[in-house]
């Protein structure tokens, strides 16, 4: 079964309510019909009209937003205005427990969706950081877990420090296990150096992150720093990282920063011909971003993944 089929089955097994704040966008409207017909989720299309039709709910969401953000200087008037914007309204719907998750991004940029998610939904208990996992299905089945790899962070954190990088590694292993069904995540902390082959403060950061992650998740198979080829190719691993429990057979790849991660997934997709699919992790309730060039099928699949995460 392909990854997306696994995710769709998971979504169908426990149907969740997913808010769609771009509810009058034509691809989203079409996707909602398919999602409902296939029983993947209960889509909630949010439009300016649907918001105006329920003033009592809008008022309670505005009050909720004010409570959440007053310490940050948000006034009641500003909260009322923001709550009426479909993106904030959708986030507040999730926060209030009236929806289980949210998908947007067919119209809005990643930042426009992430900022309200960080402000309203916030991190899950015990999580310090929101980040992302890219689920990668490679044509070469010798790589990763029968061709499946999970990359992070390619979407959210521009310059993670060592502690943040460690948090990203642990969260990504959890996504690999729970969402992708990878029973044994093997996490490679990527760098331009393998096991001390180069010295630089950037390498030190990855090494320190590896140590912190080991402390956070002692049972997790995690190793670094290592280069991409040492992480994936057994022959290279045997030369450069002998005895590593991860090198040569990694299925989770942690990039040192957003530039390398974002470029890395796009090279995998455009040159490597892999199917790539992103989810956010670490939020108290799942919210996921679409690319503005997304197809109806992309929206359906992202809603299914959000439902499966919920
Ligand atoms: N995890 C948890 N909370 C966070 C995180 C995080 N990773 N980042 C910011 N926050 C919190 C802050 O603490 C702050 O909370 P507060 O207002 O309650 O104090 C709030 O979110 C806003 O933080 P700012 O730093 O003011 O927000 P900023 O304007 O920097 O935006 C954002 C944060 C949107 C995540 C920014 O870092 C960003 O733009 N990241 C890159 C997104 C992007 O363009 N990705 C690449 C394209 S996507 C693709 O190619 C698939």
What angle is formed at CA 169 by the lines to CA 164 and CA 172, rounded to 5 degrees?
120
Share of residues in the chain with pLDDT > 90 (%): 96
The ligand 1 atom at the shortest distance from the C-alpha of residue 289 is: 51
Confidence of residue 1 (pLDDT cuts 50, 70, 90): confident
pLDDT digit string, tens, across residues 233-290: 999 999 999 999 999 999 999 999 999 999 999 999 999 999 998 999 999 999 999 9
- Name the residue at shortest CA distance from atom 33 of ligand 1: 115
Question: Which structure tokens are listed for 155?
Answer: 């979407």
Q: Which domain holds residue 20?
A: 3-122+284-309
Atom of ligand 1 lying closest to residue 123 CA: 2
Closest residue by Cα to atom 17, ligand 1, is 119
Residue among 44, 164, 175 nearest 102 (CA): 44
Q: Which ligand 1 atom lies nearest to the CA of residue 131? A: 7
Question: Could you give the angle at which helices 55-69 and 76-83 cross, rounded to 10 degrees?
Answer: 130
Ligand 1 atom 11: the closest Cα is on which residue?
A: 118
User: pLDDT value at position 82?
Assistant: 97
The verdict on 178 and 303 lying in the same domain is no
**Cβ(72) to ligand 1 under 6 A?**
yes
Gap from CA of 11 to ligand 1 centroid (Å): 28
Q: What is the CATH number of the domain that holds 143?
A: 3.40.50.10750
pLDDT at 2: 84
Task: Decide: 293 in ligand 1 pocket, CB within 6 A.
Answer: no
**Do 143 and 241 have their domain in common?**
yes
Nearest protein Cα to ligand 1, atom 48: 155
| pLDDT computed for residue 3 by the predictor | 87
Q: Which residues contact 273 (CB under 8 A, 6 or more apart)?
A: 139
Judged against a pLDDT cut of 80, whether residue 184 lies above it is answered with yes
Instruction: Give one word for 194, left, alpha or beta, with left for phi > 0 and alpha for psi -120 to 50.
Output: beta
Do both 273 and 135 map to the same domain?
yes
The reply to whether ligand 1 has any atom less than 6 angstroms from the CB of 156 is yes
pLDDT band of 208, cuts 50, 70, 90: very high
Cβ of 110 below 6 Å from ligand 1? yes
Backbone angles phi, psi at 281, to 5 degrees: -135, 150
How many angstroms does the Cα of residue 261 sit away from the middle of ligand 1? 16
Rounded Cα gap, residues 211 and 163, in angstroms: 10
CB-based contact 104:22 (threshold 8 Å): yes
**Residues 22 and 51 occupy one common structural domain:** yes
In this predicted structure, what is the pLDDT of residue 134? 96
pLDDT in tens, 131-167: 999 999 999 999 999 999 999 999 999 999 999 999 9
Strands 101-104 and 17-20: parallel
pLDDT digit string, tens, across residues 96-145: 999 999 999 999 999 999 999 999 999 999 899 999 999 999 999 999 99
Count of domains for the chain: 2
Same domain, 148 and 268: yes
Do 227 and 141 reside in the same domain of the chain? yes
Supply the CATH number for residue 292's domain: 3.40.50.10950
Residue nearest to atom 15 of ligand 1 (CA): 119
- Sign for the CA dihedral angle at 153, 156, 161, 165 comes to negative
Among 65, 105, 114, 157, residue to substitute to test ligand 1 (most atoms within 8 Å of Cβ): 114
Give the residues across from 221 on adjacent strands: 186
pLDDT given at position 106: 95
Question: 278: Cβ below 6 Å to ligand 1?
Answer: yes
**Which atom of ligand 1 is closest in space to residue 109's alpha carbon?**
44
The verdict on 101 and 14 lying in the same domain is: yes
In this structure, what token pair is assigned to residue 188? 């490679």
Closest Cα to atom 45 of ligand 1 = 155
């Amino acid at each position: 079964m392909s990854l997306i089929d696994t995710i769709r089955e998971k979504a169908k097994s426990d149907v969740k309510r997913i808010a769609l704040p771009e509810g009058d966008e034509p691809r989203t409207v079409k996707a909602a019909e398919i999602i409902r017909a296939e029983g993947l989720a209960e889509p909630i299309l949010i439009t300016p009209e649907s918001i105006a039709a329920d003033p009592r709910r809008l008022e309670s969401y505005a009050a909720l937003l004010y409570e959440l953000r007053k310490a940050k200087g948000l006034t009641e008037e500003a909260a009322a205005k923001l709550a009426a914007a479909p993106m904030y309204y959708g986030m507040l719907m999730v926060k209030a427990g009236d929806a289980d998750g949210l998908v947007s991004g067919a119209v809005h940029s990643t930042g426009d969706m992430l900022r309200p998610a960080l402000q309203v939904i916030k991190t899950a208990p015990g999580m310090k950081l929101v980040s992302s996992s890219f689920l990668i299905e490679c044509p070469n089945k010798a790589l990763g877990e029968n061709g499946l790899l999970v990359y992070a962070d390619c979407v959210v954190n521009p310059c993670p420090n060592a502690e943040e990088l460690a948090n990203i590694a642990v969260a990504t292993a959890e996504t690999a296990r729970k969402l992708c069904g990878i029973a044994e995540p093997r996490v490679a902390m990527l760098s331009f150096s393998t096991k001390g082959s180069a010295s630089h403060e950037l390498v030190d950061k990855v090494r320190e992150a590896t140590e912190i992650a080991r402390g956070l998740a002692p049972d997790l198979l995690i190793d670094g720093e290592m280069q991409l080829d040492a992480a994936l190719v057994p022959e290279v691993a045997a030369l450069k990282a002998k005895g590593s429990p991860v090198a040569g057979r990694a299925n989770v790849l942690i990039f040192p920063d957003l530039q390398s991660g974002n470029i890395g997934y796009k090279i995998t997709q455009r040159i490597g011909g892999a199917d790539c699919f992103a989810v956010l992790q670490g939020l108290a309730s799942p919210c996921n971003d679409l690319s503005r060039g997304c197809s109806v099928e992309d929206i359906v699949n992202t809603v299914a993944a959000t439902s499966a995460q919920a």
